[in-house]
Structure 1
Amino acid sequence: MKSEKQRIRSAVLNKLSTLSMEDHQQLSELIAHTLYQQPYWKKARTVALTVSRMPEVDTEPIIDRAWQEGKKVVLPRINKETREMRFYEVDTTQQLEETIFQLREPIPSLTIHRLPSEIDLMIVPGVAFTDEGHRLGLGGGYYDRYLPYFEGTTVSLLFPEQHIDSIPIEAHDSLIHHLVSTMGVLK
């Protein structure tokens, strides 16, 4: 199963690497615009997401939009030793630092830790997704361990290359409630 997941990851990431910067930006804007029209975005007071890295859908404009709309933004910080992820409320990009894997994460001493119950909407990153909402991440398992404690709404943002027919499923996998793509709302 692991080798099948690795094969899918490699294939999808390889396809994504062919996107030009211009296409990546335009498609990210289209996906974000669709997200902003959804009722779960409109009613969310606290939104959890990550600061994206290539080739993920660009989340920096989404973070800015959330702040403009008066929403609280919470971003994750991972602990590689404990394999845990915690979310911290961030008011400015000055509260971020580059950490392992070139992630931009909150500085705990400058931010406020937020519990899963304090988050309304979580934008969950991933490599590949199915119509049913099954998700294949990068393999660290951080979201797989966090999502069982999260009772809010989950949504993932994806390029067409990330939409696939099937993913090997494990007992700990959580379904994503909504999928937003350049093709509109898939789920």
Structure 2
Amino acid sequence: MRSRALSPITSAKAQLRKEIGYQLGLIEEEEIEKQSWTVQRTLIESRQFQAAQRISVYVNTKAEILTDRIIHECLRLGKELFIPHFRRKDPRMRMLRLNGLNEFENLDSTLWNIRQHSQDTEAEEYVGTGALDLIVMPGVAFTRNGDRLGHGMGYYDKMLAEHEDLFGKQPMKVALALNEQIIPNVPLHPTDISIDSILFEEELSKKEMTMRIGRRDSHQS
């Protein structure tokens, strides 16, 4: 039996994932750490992060902006923290509570080499205790205006739609990206959810330089 042909958008997404994935594989670990330092610092210092009490943060894998510092800061500040959990043959991504630094440091790499709770975990899911204030998301590629290309499973789109069904709203959606993940256009399906804010080192460095120049000029005038 011949398989059903992929739609043009699905095919374009698959090709783009291959292209971006190849480019990300060329980035040195030191460069990822450098970009991550700026991005994590900016998020932690942001008004949105400081005000949020219930936060979901992805646990990074290779060739993603690191999130360990963000997770440590959430735990230090006593915020309610939830991290993704994936199960074999389950199309639904769960967000499970992370209770402390020791628990975080003892997470195992399981499906797709992602650090997460064990497959038989009894960790609490966020849906039982209320809406999230902020969700920090990964992705393959992004545009500056908030379009996102995920990994192709639709986990975050489904999770955010579920959140809106349950609580009548979506959390603030922030994506963290490497400079190499920012592209002009992303092919989209109608069900793809856009993000509210994207943080990447190149843009943040430009803004910081502009602020420094502005402060210097004001002192000289």
Q: Which moved more, 1:69-78 or 1:172-181?
A: 69-78
More strand by share: 1
- Compute the RMSD of aligned alpha carbons: 2.0
Taking structure 2 as the reference length, the TM-score comes to: 0.78
Distance 1:63 1:110 in 2: 20
Residue from 146, 161, 165 that aligns with 1:133: 146
Flag as ranges the 4+ runs of structure 1 deviating above 4 A: none
Letter in 2 for 1:126: G
Distance 1:11 1:85 in 2: 26
Q: Counterparts of 1:26-175 in structure 2 under 5 Å? A: 26-91=34-99, 92-93=103-104, 96-107=107-118, 109-115=121-127, 117-150=130-163, 151-175=170-194
Aligned to 1:5: 13
Q: 1:95 touches 1:111 (CA, 8 Å); kept in 2? A: no
In the TM superposition, what is the alpha-carbon distance from 1:152 to its structure 2 partner?
1.1
Aligned to 1:14: 22
Distance 2:58 2:144 in 1: 22
For the residue of structure 1 that corresponds to 2:175, the secondary structure is strand
For the residue of structure 1 that corresponds to 2:81, the secondary structure is strand
Measured against aligned partners, the alpha-carbon deviations of 1:35-74 in whole angstroms (never above 9, x if no partner) come to 1122111101121012110101011121111111221210
For the residue of structure 2 that corresponds to 1:122, the secondary structure is strand
For the residue of structure 2 that corresponds to 1:109, the secondary structure is coil
Q: 1:135 touches 1:167 (CA, 8 Å); kept in 2? A: yes
Q: 1:95 touches 1:110 (CA, 8 Å); kept in 2? A: no
In the TM superposition, what is the alpha-carbon distance from 1:111 to its structure 2 partner?
2.0
How many pairs are equivalent? Answer: 186
Distance 2:43 2:149 in 1: 21
In the TM superposition, what is the alpha-carbon distance from 1:185 to its structure 2 partner?
9.3
In the TM superposition, what is the alpha-carbon distance from 1:119 to its structure 2 partner?
1.5
For the residue of structure 1 that corresponds to 2:34, the secondary structure is helix
In the TM superposition, what is the alpha-carbon distance from 1:3 to its structure 2 partner?
2.1
| CA separation of 1:80 and 1:63: change in aligned 2, threshold 3 A | same
In the TM superposition, what is the alpha-carbon distance from 1:139 to its structure 2 partner?
0.9
Letter in 2 for 1:67: L
More helix by share: 2
Measured against aligned partners, the alpha-carbon deviations of 1:93-127 in whole angstroms (never above 9, x if no partner) come to 25633322112112463521111843111011101
Distance 2:50 2:193 in 1: 24
Q: Which moved more, 1:164-173 or 1:78-87?
A: 78-87
In the TM superposition, what is the alpha-carbon distance from 1:77 to its structure 2 partner?
1.0
| CA separation of 1:5 and 1:147: change in aligned 2, threshold 3 A | same
For the residue of structure 2 that corresponds to 1:173, the secondary structure is coil
Letter in 2 for 1:164: I
Q: Which moved more, 1:133-142 or 1:5-14?
A: 5-14
